Structures are given as C-alpha cells and as structure tokens.
Amino acid sequence: MAEMDPAGMALAANAYPIEDPEMIPAQRYYDEEFYRLECERLWPHVWQMACRLEMIPEPGDWIEYTNVGKSVLVVRTNDGVKAYENHCRHRGVPIAGGHGNDHGNCSKSGFICPFHGWRWNMDGENTFVYGKQLFSQDKLDPAELALKPVRVETWGGCAFINHDADAPSLRESLGPVADRLEAHGMSKVRSEWWFGTKLPANWKIAMEAFMEGYHVMMTHPQLQRGLPSLYNQRYGDDTGGIGATVDPNMSVRENIKAQIANMELLNAGMGGMIQAKEIEIARQFENVELPDNLEEAVPMWYGMVMDAVSKQLRERGEDVPDLIAVSQSDPVEAVEYLFPHYFLLPSLTSYASYRIRPLGPEECFFEIWSLTHYPEGQEPEVPMEPTVLPYDSQDFPMIPRQDYSNIPIQQKGLHSEGFEFMRLSKDREGLVSNYQRLIDGYIAGVEPSKLAAANQQLGGNFDGPIKDLGF
C-alpha cells in the first residue's frame, strides 16, 4: 500500500530507500523512476539558489532560473526581489528568456509575450491584452491574469526560490549555518568569475564528490604532498605509500613556508578559495619570530595572518570581517552545504561557490563562482552567464579539473553488475548519508518541520559523522 503524505495524497513507492545509513543503493544515481520521484517530491519543495543579487541590481532587472523543467523569472522591483512562474496566462508561452540563463530589464517595456503580445509589468500585473473585446469578461479577471508568484527569499548575496507556498522559510531550513556564514561576510562578496559545464553524471554524484576531504590524498595529491600534516592528522597517517608522510623533523620555519605554499596551490587550483591579495599579506609573516614548538607556532602564525588580512584589506576599502573574532564566534567548515544543490568553500575572506542542477538521471549542469570582496566602486563587471566549457577542458582551474576526472567514471562504475551499494565511512562520509536520507524524507512526504530540522543538521557536517535525522 502506498504511503500517504500530510495532505492525504498517495505517494509513489521509493524502490531504493536507504535501510542502512552506511549503505547507499547504487540505483539511486541512475534509475529513471527514482529521478522522477526527486523531480516530483523533492525539487518543488526545497529552496533553490536562483541567482546572485549583483546580477539584478536595478528595478526591472530580471534573470531566468530553470531547473527540472520549471522556469522562474527573478525580478528586482521597487519593493524588493520578486519571482514569477515564466508563462503567459493566455496560452502558456514563456514571456521572457526560454534558454535558461537569459536576463534583461523590463522597467520600460515590461514582459511581452512573443506569441500574441500580452504584457506584464515588473510587479506581475497584466497591463495589456491584445483584442480584449474578443474574450469573455469573466476570463479577464486581473487577479487571474497576474503572473503566478513564486516564493523568493534573499540571503548571502543570492535570491532563493521555492515552489512550495507552505514550506518552512529559508532561514528555518538552513538554521545556524546561515548566521555563521553571514558573520563571515557572505552577503558582501561579489562574483569574480563564473564557469559552467555539463557532466555525464547524476547530480548527487557531483555533489557528494565534495562532501569529505578523505579524497584529497588521491584526487588532489599536490595538496596532500604540500601539507601532509594537515590531511594526515585528520584521516590518519596510514597513507599506504600513496601520499606523503609527515616529516617529524620539520622545523617551524619550514612549516610556515609549507603553509604559504599550500595557499599558493589553493589560489592556483581554485581561485576563490584563497586570493592573491591574501597570500601577499601572508608572505609578510614568512620570517616572523615564532616559538620552536609547532603546536604553538602554527596557530600563532595563522592568528597574525588573519589579523593582518582583516586590517590591511579594510585599509584598502574592503568591508571584510574581523577574521579572528568570527573564527571564534562563528566557526565554519571548509565546505558548507545548503541543501539541496548549493555549497560554499569559505577560506579567509573569499569563497568558491558551487551550484549543481540535474539535467536527467545521468547528467547535470555544474557551476562554479569565485567570490571575493572589492572596495566600493571598484567592483568588476558582473558575469551574467557562465563561461561554459567541456568538463575535461584544461581551462578549468586545477582542483575542479581533478574532481571532474573522477565524477564521470564513477557514474559508469555504478552500473557495474556487482556494485550494489556505496559503503560509507560512518565518521567522515556521514554527510553523504545524511543528504541521501533527507532526500528520502522528501520522497516519503515527511512533515515539513521535521525536514527543516534535519536540513539544519547538514550545516557544519562536512567530513562529519552519520546523524540521527529524527525520522
């Protein structure tokens, strides 16, 4: 017998539920029916990052956001950001865009349907019906002709949409991680660049590739070799001869040089994770006097660097946070996930930001932004659409290029006849399990308040354990 959701509607059965939190059925990543359940039961009820706010700075500015067959117009109005379903109330034709990343300004002409010329203003009000006398009067009720609104909330420099009018708010869903990221200046950064690519992989495979640092030793060997003490301490010194071992005789001076070299690798490999301006400041402390004890010296050195980065970037006119203060009051993880398809990699004052949208059971569109602070009036031109490259392009930064080398072949491996389950580390790959079980909660029609509470547990869970989600 089918389960019932809170509204009393029968739910389609989930053929591949998670019964053991450490074992994820492989079919969840390619089965057509499971993908259909996600499209019907997950995506219409979750908060989706639709656009960055610097893309719509003036009244009338709009951008189209598309996902799983639904198109939404996000518009800056005189009264704030609004969103509408992108269809003409006459015959259903999209009134703007239609290609997924279109944008424009409707303050003068409004939105004009390309089929019969009906029009709407930025507030969604119908302003013109061609041949109005041809229609029955009761079919032209202004309330019925108005564009259908979509819930929209802004946070962290982005607009988020939700098709479910009754879903818990964005803040209720994100929980304390929203406040922690905001304390780190999330709403004040701007786009430096924006890349996109189609990956031949399920959207969850692409998301999960970044849910733990356990893969760094093999996938990003340059990072582990550059600073083995950081990675080996977290995952154990038993590298099996693959990664570098910790040098017990490394001096404080050598360690500091390694720390700076690691920053340089992150800058070259990812851009937004560490900015050149931050490395420039860190180098000022390359030869500073420090205790001989590494356990004392390294934290002291980082404290000096964080203090100097905050002060010197503020002197340049950048509204950056006090890094020492926020690292104590609002600590964040190396990766922070905002369910279901957006995550951030905070570093000092900058971020790498990722968004992944499904294009089918075994294909997704993968986007990366580099985000950083700028002095007022010195912001670069806003990228309005991603630079789309083949996933194996050498023009991608090194770190995502290395991840892209794994993701497509993992998708193929999941089809192997003898591969039935992913086997997760209960201690370090818990976020994968927690994410997947939250998806099951949506498919099963779990009470929205319980889903929001489970969603909150994803904050700070990078590299973390499997959790009890409460359902």
DSSP string, 90-140: TT---SS--SSS-EEE-TTT-EE-TTT--EE-TTS-EEE-TTGGGS-GGG-
pLDDT average, residue stretch 436-451: 98
Helix (H) or strand (E) holding 399: helix 398-413
- The rounded distance, in Å, linking the Cα atoms of 31 and 319 is 47
343-382 per-residue burial string, b: 16 or more CB within 10 A, e: under 16:
bbbbbbbbbbbbbbbbeebbebbbbbbbbbbbeeeeeeee
For CA atoms 455, 460, 463, 469, the dihedral sign is negative
Q: Give yes or no for residue 143 having a pLDDT over 60.
A: yes
pLDDT average, residue stretch 406-415: 97
- Domains along the chain with CATH numbers: 1-41+170-213+250-471 (3.90.380), 48-155 (2.102.10.10)
| pLDDT score at 222 | 85
Helix (H, G, I), strand (E, B) or coil at 250: coil
Q: What is the DSSP letter of 394?
A: T
DSSP string, 195-244: EEEEESS-HHHHHHTTS-STTHHHHSHHHHHH-HHHHHHHH-S--TTSSP
pLDDT average, residue stretch 14-26: 97
Q: pLDDT class for 450, splitting at 50, 70, 90?
A: very high
- The number of C-alpha atoms within 13 Å of 440 and in the hemisphere containing its C-beta is 20
CA neighbor of 458 nearest in space, from 448, 213, 471, 437? 437
Q: Give the pair of three-digit tokens for residue 46.
A: 């979750």
Q: Give yes or no for residue 457 having a pLDDT over 80.
A: yes
Q: pLDDT class for 1, splitting at 50, 70, 90?
A: very low
| pLDDT score at 226 | 76
Q: Give yes or no for residue 316 having a pLDDT over 60.
A: yes
pLDDT average, residue stretch 388-415: 94
What proportions of the chain, in percent to the nearest 5, are helix, strand and coil?
35, 20, 45
For CA atoms 246, 250, 252, 257, the dihedral sign is negative
pLDDT tens, residue by residue, 104-138 = 999 999 999 999 999 999 999 999 999 999 999 99
Q: pLDDT class for 248, splitting at 50, 70, 90?
A: confident
pLDDT average, residue stretch 287-291: 94
The two beta strands, 363-372 and 190-199, are: antiparallel
Q: Give yes or no for residue 360 having a pLDDT over 80.
A: yes
| pLDDT score at 2 | 44
Taking the CB of residue 12, how many other CB atoms lie within 10 A of it?
13
Contact criterion met (CB below 8 Å) for 338 and 162: no
- The rounded distance, in Å, linking the Cα atoms of 64 and 54 is 14
Q: pLDDT class for 9, splitting at 50, 70, 90?
A: very low
| pLDDT score at 237 | 61
Q: pLDDT class for 239, splitting at 50, 70, 90?
A: low
Q: Give the pair of three-digit tokens for residue 451.
A: 């889903």
pLDDT average, residue stretch 285-295: 92
| Total-model pTM | 0.94
Cα 68–chain centre separation? 17
pLDDT average, residue stretch 368-393: 96
| pLDDT score at 218 | 86
Degrees, nearest 5: CA angle 389-340-69 = 65
Q: Give yes or no for residue 86 having a pLDDT over 80.
A: yes
Helices (H), 271-321: 276-282, 294-315
As a whole-number percent, the residues of the chain with pLDDT over 90 amount to 83
pLDDT tens, residue by residue, 175-221 = 999 999 999 999 999 999 999 999 999 999 999 999 999 898 889 88
Contact criterion met (CB below 8 Å) for 82 and 152: yes
Task: Give the range among 77-81, 270-274, 448-452 with minimum mean pLDDT.
Answer: 270-274
Pairwise pLDDT comparison (13 vs 357), residue with the higher score: 357
Q: What is the CA radius of gyration of the chain?
A: 24
Q: pLDDT class for 232, splitting at 50, 70, 90?
A: confident
Q: Give yes or no for residue 328 having a pLDDT over 90.
A: yes
pLDDT average, residue stretch 213-233: 81
Degrees, nearest 5: CA angle 181-70-137 = 120
| pLDDT score at 8 | 42
Q: Give yes or no for residue 5 having a pLDDT over 60.
A: no
Q: Give yes or no for residue 465 having a pLDDT over 50.
A: yes
Residues 6+ away with beta carbon under 8 Å from 385: 101, 103, 194
